[in-house]
Structure 1
Amino acid sequence: MRFAPLKAGTRISQAKCQLLESHKVKAGKSQQTTFVGDRDVAEWETPMNDHENLEQRFYKTTQSLPLPAEPKQCSPDMESHDISMTHLFSIEVTVQDSDNSPFANKYRASLPVVLFASPQVPIDANNKFVRSTSPNIDEDVASLSGLDVPPVYGAHLQDKVLNDLSKSLHV
């Protein structure tokens, strides 16, 4: 993440991140939503000390989402008939006018994210995801490369349309 103070002399003192999960369940097509719920999946603070690049006036920090190890603590995004689960990444940045100013402003922004649990990620005997324990983010990303991500439905522009299924099944 990169942050740039908009005014000279200001500094970013803190950034809090949060991953929220929303559930919507409907009783039927003609009925209104019968259940709407939210839960905090993860919450963490991003250190901002000594991240200022004086030449370009920005703060930079790199961090991976600390998703729970147990699948039941964080559901993947899905939408099926009358059930929907979505996720939102929210960040709150605290900006101070100067080092010795007692006043601070907080700014919030949110971004929708899509979480997908690949069937290729193994689950151990304790019903937890088996993950790399490396503190290096690049190694974590490399260990997850090659996982199958589902296609975006509706974006199948070059798929072959099967008009007659019996013709396609002949071997």
Structure 2
Amino acid sequence: MWPFVAGKSIPARELFRPRRARHLMRSQPRRSFSVHNEGFQNYDVGYGKPPQATQFTRGRSGNPKGRPKGSKNLSSVVQRECRQRVRVNGPGGPRMITKLEAAVMQIGNKAAQGELRAAKELFSLIRISEEEQGASSTGTSFQEADQRVLHTLRRRLGGLSTSESTTNSKEISE
């Protein structure tokens, strides 16, 4: 009687059969089949080449139940809603403003009345808008840096003479 392995009811000899498993370890040659149907030309079927009858046909979607054409995503719906104009009655009479402007106006009014939650939201909006303005104001310095880089490239490539490069570098630095 053979010893059993790790509490298994199968004897140890039956678990290990190296002679029978050798054929699984060998790599099999790639097979290619030729399709010779009526409507198809001589087409080899194999790895990366599915039969032509099962390939997607031209003009038909591979996902027919997918997103329908013309459907909008969330950001486009939100943008469209925020740009709609509404009528607001103010001290100077009724006027038309966007919904986004009306929402910011409401947050500002509630913050002025003393609501802490509205004040926190207003302060975060102010901080975000100031960061965006700061980023847009540094855009001019990037343009100046780009001009300097282009100028040095032209000078290195020989596009400018030495007298022109000194006068242009003085103009750029000022």
TM-score range, shorter chain: under 0.3
> Higher helix fraction: Structure 1 or Structure 2?
2
Higher RCO structure (Cα 8 Å, ≥6 apart)? 1
Q: Which has the larger radius of gyration?
A: 2
Q: TM-score of the superposition, structure 2-length normalised?
A: 0.18
Whose strand fraction is larger, Structure 1's or Structure 2's?
1
